[in-house]
Structure 1
Amino acid sequence: MQPKSPRSRSATAARTVNWRSAALALGVLTSLVLAQKLPAQDGGEVTRSHGYNFFGELKYPADYQHFDYVNPDAPKGGEIALAAQGTFDSLNPYTRKGRAAALSSSMYESLMDENAPADEYGSMYCLLCESIEYDEGKTYVIFNMRQDAKFSDGTPVTAHDVVFTHNLFLEQGLPSYAIAVKKRITGAEALDDHTVRFDFADDISRRSLIDQVGSTPVFSKKWYEETGARLDEPRLETSPGSGPYMIEDFEVNRRIVYKRNPDYWGKDLPVNAGRHNFDRIRIEYFADETAAFEAFKAGEYTFREEGNSKLWATSYDFPAAQRGQVVREEIPDGSPPANSGFVFNLAREPLQDKRVREALALAYNFEWTNESLQYGLFRHRSSFIQDTPLQAEGTPTPEEVAFMEALPVDVPEEVMSGEARMAHESSPERQNDRRNLRQAMRLLDEAGWTVGDDGLRRNADGEVLSIEIPVNSAGAAVLEAVIGSFVQNLQLMGVDARMEKVDPSQYTNRRRDRDYDIIFDSYRVFLGVGTGLRQVFGSGEAEFSLFNPAGLASPLIDGIIDAALATTTQAEQDTSLKVLDRALRYEFFMVPAYYKADHWVAYWDVYGHPEEIAPYDLGYLDYWWYDAEKGEQMRASGALR
């Protein structure tokens, strides 16, 4: 916030089973309504519950002992070691400057656990709180907090810390976040030391209100007031968290180590049973992917989630892998794939013409790059919720048409009655598909970008059509090759295109500042409706939202999101998301790229995991565990230190 060719039928079937077996916000299975209804003073009803789902349905009852997908008897102990690429200069994960260390947000907990369960979409269960209360109209929520919750420095976590954190994010957090929250949350009040209430604005959607305040991390008010630290600035000091891990050691740009808090207050909670099983989490930093992979082969770190198709296809034949000391697994992934691709910066005037974007897109030859550079291990993404029952298919259903007819904005006929836009096809035989390039050049001619005597395309004012794509120098070589082939095809069309390699810090800054014409980036996936959709796709924060790298600002998308937020049933929500997917594909602000259906993981054989992996989280830092017997054997053999 990465390959059997193409994806096998068995992998597809496994993915389908995941969807059918999970109690999700898709109406696939019937859940039980488990919340307790109590009379309110105004005559309405108050819901008191151990968890929250917008539709009121929870998979796990109030007396649940653990989530179904965990091993409640998983052993505690050992270490898992991972790799990170590039650099870090801050231990503050919320800074707007510099680069934060990997997993630096993992020390902080929220009122409700936003990271679990991994087999149920749209539901959250109490963590720092023991119960929540909200009225029928969801105009407020009250969290009754656990009185034994403590920060790692031993001080209690109180309602005053919750209110302080809420206000800190409004004052020093991301502007797009603060603007959105201020419109929706009108008050935060500590009713006593362990009871906190949030009030919500009138005449707005009830979506993402309770979820929002329930998932905000909680910081120590005492620490911030004593140190004077700011949330938006980099620093190498950390505020105490209430989570199971705390920083043990670090060396800037080299490594960071997290250790289990031996006094972690929440270790015996049902929400934590079978989870957080490692004593230490170590992250080693490397300059680039080559150095990182060589270090994995040597056992300098022990777990790798592979994203490089070339390495996966050709490089796992080193001695430790041949001896069976390194395990490789392809594990079905039940989540929609990342919405990755070539994102157009819509603030650039030439790219505001959709014909230009469509022409440039035709320079991407997925079929050739997949076969020639990526070993045929990927599929071409078309949808923003690919391979789920929510993705738009063919022409709109009657339910979709009715939804669009009720919108207060004009819906283009292409969206109202046309086929859902699919990724273009190219020839795998050669890098430059001549048919697509001819079509692209016709589109550029129509848009007024004609070829001059020097072979470059200019508009009527003599301006050259220039495209610059920054690339992270610490990134994967395969991605660089994919982008390079795209650039070469753009040049064949007469576009002054170039790829610029920049160091990780510069790349981060350019991405934040939108200093690019096109960037290979991702949009967040979604399986439900929430006001976070506005931050990602809405016009209100389009100029500065880090979650909207294209700067998409579309009245059509705004209207769909607003109407989706007003849906009241599961079926209505699902219809609205299909329409949103259809319209996002129509707007065409990114060239969809490749994706894989499975998690590719390789690890030194000292770990265990449940036989069935949860559909929505691979969970290697969550519910995997260290096998001490295997670890001892590995050390005795000299394979690992």
Structure 2
Amino acid sequence: MTPDFFPRARRLIACFFVFCALGGTAQAEPSHGIAMYGDPALPPDFVSLPYANPDAPKGGRLVTGNVGSFDSLNPFVQKGTPPWQLRFLTHESLMGRSWDEPFTLYGLLAESVETGPNREWVEFTLRPEARFSDGSPVTVEDVIWSYETLGAEGHGRYRSFLQKVDKIEATGPNSVRLTFNTNDRELALIAGLRPILKKAQWEGKEFAEASINDVPIGSAPYAVADFEAGRHVTLKRNPDYWGADLALRRGTANFDEIRIEFYGDDTVLKEAFKAKAVSFVRELNAEKWATQYDFPAAQNGEITLSEIPHSKPSGMTGFVMNTRRAPLDDWRVREALIHAFNFEFINDALTGGRQPRITSYFSGSELGMLEGPAVGRVRALLEPLKDDLLPSALEGYTLPQSDGSKRNRANIRKAADLLAEAGWTVQDGQLQNADGDALELTVLLRQDGLLQQATAYMEIYARALERLGITLTVETIDSAQYAERERSFDFDLTFFRRSMSLSPGNEQRFYWGSDTANVEGSRNLMGMTSPAADAMIDAMLASESRGEFVAAVRALDRVLISGRYVIPIHQYSIGRIAHLSDLTYPKNRLPVYGDGVWFLPEVWWSKAEEK
């Protein structure tokens, strides 16, 4: 961490809001980049991304560990469970993000972008030199096919976009235009981020039914070189990568090889790291970070502990409740379950109280709701929808707090009152409704890096629920089974994490939109159908000024937290990476978004390759 990071981050965020205040400046002519509001921060002749070292050496090998298994190498379809890294490391889009700005894109496969006066259309001009990893050129035909195929047959995350496109057409040998049927300023940017695949590879094949051997050909610096199903995948950097000299790529993709090893559980993975068989691990538990990283390799300097700050909203982490199932469709039951969750005691026991609780979906940022009753523009947005709001949305919702003791008596009493109001009373030691049905819940957990901590949370929680007459069963399954059950919403509660950006947009529909509530594979895990949330997302996407945008996000934040859909746990306000000391990064150029795949492995390098 460098002393000048936080002032620099504050300046970047301040610039974002200045850009927002400028409103919808139209693209008058083709440009090297596009921002959600205002203009891109980097000029057309920029040398590299500000958080990358353009002189970083190439070479070396990075080994990363995943918990679980995989049965697919196609991250773009609904079928199968691929290594999550492939979507980011093996394929490119027309534009690429700068993670040092709230939401700005610069040309990648496309050399320029142009939009209509109100962003009712966007046009991209491809770079003639753009190539797939097999050496074939990236064409307009590939671009159009990718948009249409992903929109019709791809993973659920890609499908809603195509519904907002009126037409896609070639406007020249190297240019393509998308015309939209929806008033949504963000669509021009989303179009720039769709992965581009090679059409010819899939001729005569069913894209959505691809086997593990049908590895999609991409244009990124890395390609799959070797794999053993369920055990490991090796990516190798293409020595003939077409974009090596692009400003957006200088100082990135520095390792010759990235190997993804799969482990049965997090404990085995951490032991592999201690033995230096894995190059790095991310630690999410502050207590473990403070107490369990003093093993020999860390003491003798072979392993380094790095902390990476960020300026993102808190997002939401916790245990989501599936409102498609009774009695979780009753907000009073959900509120009771939140009251019964003794966060203060659990947090102290499991993290040493080092990680504060999330208080709303955008907390810790300018976008988060303000305390107390809604006022001003936020209230004006919500007031017409007050009949669709749950209690405390307008008045101000705060999470219940305990006194930190194990018993949590006051909140347990409140939970019992809420359950009684919802028709649930204790009969013979069991909480039952009027029909004599017992309140029994199952929390579904996946075998991943958070397994131990999430399980420990739920074991303590189950004992608290017993005092209310509720039976909570913890069910832990492997990644493949979990992916299928999550996809089909087959759970009562499950672990939940949604990161939020400094420029939330269309992804909010996929997270909370009514249209996605019953779409298999959507990320609306709680199944919420809220006209108020839908309206606030519409308001966000139509905003043309900083004030309108912030008000709409704050209003959405109120709808979400007062919906009582998630039992929130603690914030991840800083990235914690333990890594081999041979690995390093630009310490004085940290991105405003902090750690992520865009940071490690994207801009790291091996000291052994330094001359």
Of residues 49-58 and 509-518 in structure 1, the stretch that sits farther from structure 2 once superposed is: 49-58
Aligned to 1:7: none
* Residues 133 and 241 in structure 2, CA contact (< 8 A), matched pair in contact too: yes
Aligned to 1:635: none
- The 3-state SS of whatever aligns with 2:137 is coil
* Residues 23 and 31 in structure 1, CA contact (< 8 A), matched pair in contact too: no
Q: Deviations over 1:448-470 (max 9, x none)?
A: 101112x1111111111111111
Which amino acid in structure 1 is aligned with residue 183 of structure 2?
S
User: CA separation of 1:270/1:513 partners in 2, compared to 1, >3 Å: closer, same or farther?
Assistant: same
Correspondence 1:56 to 2:32: no
Specify every segment of 5 or more residues in structure 2 that has no aligned partner in the other structure, as ranges.
none
Aligned to 2:222: 245
- Quick one: which of 622, 627, 630 aligns to 2:607? 627
Of residues 242-251 and 150-159 in structure 1, the stretch that sits farther from structure 2 once superposed is: 242-251
Which amino acid in structure 1 is aligned with residue 141 of structure 2?
H
User: CA separation of 1:471/1:30 partners in 2, compared to 1, >3 Å: closer, same or farther?
Assistant: closer
Which amino acid in structure 1 is aligned with residue 40 of structure 2?
L
User: CA separation of 1:67/1:32 partners in 2, compared to 1, >3 Å: closer, same or farther?
Assistant: farther
State the alpha-carbon separation in 1 of the partners of residues 129 and 39 from structure 2: 28
State the shift of 1:533 in Å: 1.8
Q: Tell me how large the CA RMSD over aligned residues is.
A: 2.5
Aligned to 2:175: 195
Which amino acid in structure 1 is aligned with residue 249 of structure 2?
N
* Residues 57 and 254 in structure 2, CA contact (< 8 A), matched pair in contact too: yes
Aligned residue pairs total 603
- The 3-state SS of whatever aligns with 1:380 is coil
State the alpha-carbon separation in 2 of the partners of residues 412 and 546 from structure 1: 23
- Mapping 1:317-396, distance limit 5 Å: 317-395=294-372, 396=374
Aligned to 1:505: 480
- Quick one: which of 531, 549, 557 aligns to 2:533? 557
Aligned to 1:638: none
State the shift of 1:496 in Å: 2.1
- The 3-state SS of whatever aligns with 2:533 is helix
Aligned to 1:207: 185
Specify every segment of 5 or more residues in structure 1 that has no aligned partner in the other structure, as ranges.
1-9, 38-45, 633-641
* Residues 244 and 250 in structure 2, CA contact (< 8 A), matched pair in contact too: yes
State the alpha-carbon separation in 2 of the partners of residues 467 and 313 from structure 1: 34
State the alpha-carbon separation in 1 of the partners of residues 247 and 443 from structure 2: 48
* Residues 23 and 29 in structure 1, CA contact (< 8 A), matched pair in contact too: no
- The 3-state SS of whatever aligns with 1:438 is helix
- Quick one: which of 481, 484, 488 aligns to 2:456? 481
- Mapping 1:204-603, distance limit 5 Å: 204-225=182-203, 228-231=205-208, 233-395=210-372, 396-405=374-383, 407=384, 410=387, 412=389, 417-419=394-396, 421-430=397-406, 432-453=407-428, 455-475=429-449, 476-544=451-519, 546-603=522-579
Q: Deviations over 1:178-233 (max 9, x none)?
A: 2x2243101112234311111111xx32222111211100000111115x141354
Aligned to 1:165: 146
State the shift of 1:388 in Å: 0.6
State the shift of 1:139 in Å: 2.1
Which amino acid in structure 1 is aligned with residue 441 of structure 2?
I
- The 3-state SS of whatever aligns with 2:106 is strand
Correspondence 1:611 to 2:587: yes
Correspondence 1:89 to 2:89: no
Aligned to 1:99: 81
Aligned to 1:76: 58
Which amino acid in structure 2 is aligned with residue 88 of structure 1?
F
State the alpha-carbon separation in 1 of the partners of residues 23 and 535 from structure 2: 31
User: CA separation of 1:576/1:586 partners in 2, compared to 1, >3 Å: closer, same or farther?
Assistant: same
State the shift of 1:598 in Å: 0.9
Percent identical among aligned pairs is 34
State the shift of 1:236 in Å: 2.6
State the alpha-carbon separation in 1 of the partners of residues 194 and 603 from structure 2: 22
User: CA separation of 1:341/1:25 partners in 2, compared to 1, >3 Å: closer, same or farther?
Assistant: farther
State the alpha-carbon separation in 2 of the partners of residues 417 and 209 from structure 1: 30
State the shift of 1:375 in Å: 2.3
Of residues 232-241 and 491-500 in structure 1, the stretch that sits farther from structure 2 once superposed is: 232-241
- The 3-state SS of whatever aligns with 1:497 is strand
State the alpha-carbon separation in 2 of the partners of residues 25 and 350 from structure 1: 46
User: CA separation of 1:89/1:66 partners in 2, compared to 1, >3 Å: closer, same or farther?
Assistant: same
Which amino acid in structure 2 is aligned with residue 484 of structure 1?
E
Correspondence 1:137 to 2:118: yes
* Residues 147 and 194 in structure 1, CA contact (< 8 A), matched pair in contact too: yes
State the alpha-carbon separation in 1 of the partners of residues 535 and 217 from structure 2: 42
- The 3-state SS of whatever aligns with 2:113 is strand
- The 3-state SS of whatever aligns with 2:148 is helix
State the alpha-carbon separation in 2 of the partners of residues 465 and 625 from structure 1: 53
Q: TM-score, normalised by structure 1?
A: 0.89
Which amino acid in structure 1 is aligned with residue 323 of structure 2?
L
State the alpha-carbon separation in 1 of the partners of residues 533 and 24 from structure 2: 35
User: CA separation of 1:502/1:175 partners in 2, compared to 1, >3 Å: closer, same or farther?
Assistant: closer
State the shift of 1:22 in Å: 1.6
State the alpha-carbon separation in 1 of the partners of residues 448 and 241 from structure 2: 36
State the alpha-carbon separation in 1 of the partners of residues 14 and 127 from structure 2: 28
Which amino acid in structure 1 is aligned with residue 80 of structure 2?
G
User: CA separation of 1:534/1:623 partners in 2, compared to 1, >3 Å: closer, same or farther?
Assistant: same
State the alpha-carbon separation in 2 of the partners of residues 191 and 137 from structure 1: 19
State the alpha-carbon separation in 2 of the partners of residues 409 and 49 from structure 1: 43
- Quick one: which of 145, 152, 163 aligns to 1:183? 163
* Residues 34 and 61 in structure 1, CA contact (< 8 A), matched pair in contact too: no
* Residues 539 and 552 in structure 1, CA contact (< 8 A), matched pair in contact too: yes
State the shift of 1:412 in Å: 4.6
- Quick one: which of 99, 104, 112 aligns to 2:95? 112
Aligned to 1:125: 106
State the shift of 1:18 in Å: 5.7
State the alpha-carbon separation in 1 of the partners of residues 413 and 344 from structure 2: 18
State the shift of 1:20 in Å: 1.0
State the alpha-carbon separation in 2 of the partners of residues 50 and 598 from structure 1: 32
* Residues 26 and 119 in structure 2, CA contact (< 8 A), matched pair in contact too: no
- The 3-state SS of whatever aligns with 1:93 is coil
Aligned to 1:150: 131
State the alpha-carbon separation in 2 of the partners of residues 32 and 131 from structure 1: 22
Which amino acid in structure 1 is aligned with residue 531 of structure 2?
P
* Residues 82 and 284 in structure 1, CA contact (< 8 A), matched pair in contact too: yes
State the shift of 1:29 in Å: 7.3
Of residues 205-214 and 270-279 in structure 1, the stretch that sits farther from structure 2 once superposed is: 205-214
User: CA separation of 1:50/1:449 partners in 2, compared to 1, >3 Å: closer, same or farther?
Assistant: same
* Residues 102 and 283 in structure 1, CA contact (< 8 A), matched pair in contact too: no
- Quick one: which of 12, 22, 26 aligns to 2:12? 22
State the shift of 1:416 in Å: 6.6
State the alpha-carbon separation in 1 of the partners of residues 172 and 20 from structure 2: 38
Q: Deviations over 1:115-156 (max 9, x none)?
A: x31110111111000011221022221111000000011100
State the shift of 1:529 in Å: 4.4
* Residues 315 and 360 in structure 2, CA contact (< 8 A), matched pair in contact too: no
State the alpha-carbon separation in 2 of the partners of residues 36 and 262 from structure 1: 39
Q: Deviations over 1:572-620 (max 9, x none)?
A: 1011111111121111111111123111111111012112311214202
* Residues 176 and 541 in structure 1, CA contact (< 8 A), matched pair in contact too: no
